[in-house]
Amino acid sequence: MRICKNTDLKERARELRNHMTPQETLLWNACLKRLPIQVYRQYIIENYIVDFFCRKARLVIEVDGLQHYTMDGMKYDKRRSSRIEKYGILILRFSNLDIDHNLKNVGQYIENVIQERLQYLNDEPDD
């Protein structure tokens, strides 16, 4: 299934790429940019910009600050996730604290999930 993108968000996505949070930068530099599979930063899916997206594994990686743990933030994330998941995309969420205090394990977990997803997606029968 082709992923729809709101191209009006291109400039905003570029701004977010150029001004990542400290935790996004840490995860990107320590783990994601070193993977043997391409991971995109601030990728547009429909009307949303996700922190990181691995197209081949159909995987979104989100780094959540405090605003994601408010009632409004959780409602928004739930709506957003349901829209994104309709494309067969799995969403992994990590808190800023996860990145700050457990980066090595977060990176290893992401690598494991990518490998599992690639295996799963390659084993799917063709339609």
pLDDT at residue 29 in the model? 97
Distance CA 65, CA 60 (A): 16
Residues in Cβ contact with 41 at an 8 Å cutoff, skipping those fewer than 6 apart? 16, 17, 20, 24, 28, 51, 52
DSSP letter (8 states) at residue 2: P
* Tens-place pLDDT, residues 26-78: 999 999 999 999 999 999 999 999 999 999 999 999 998 756 556 777 788 89
Which tens digit of pLDDT belongs to each residue from 88-123? 999 999 999 999 999 999 999 999 999 999 998 887
Asked, for residue 1, whether it belongs to a domain, the answer is no
Range of the domain at 95: 7-122
The answer to whether position 62 is within a domain reads yes
CATH of residue 44's domain is: 3.40.960.10
Contact between residue 90 and residue 62 where contact means Cβ atoms under 8 Å apart: no
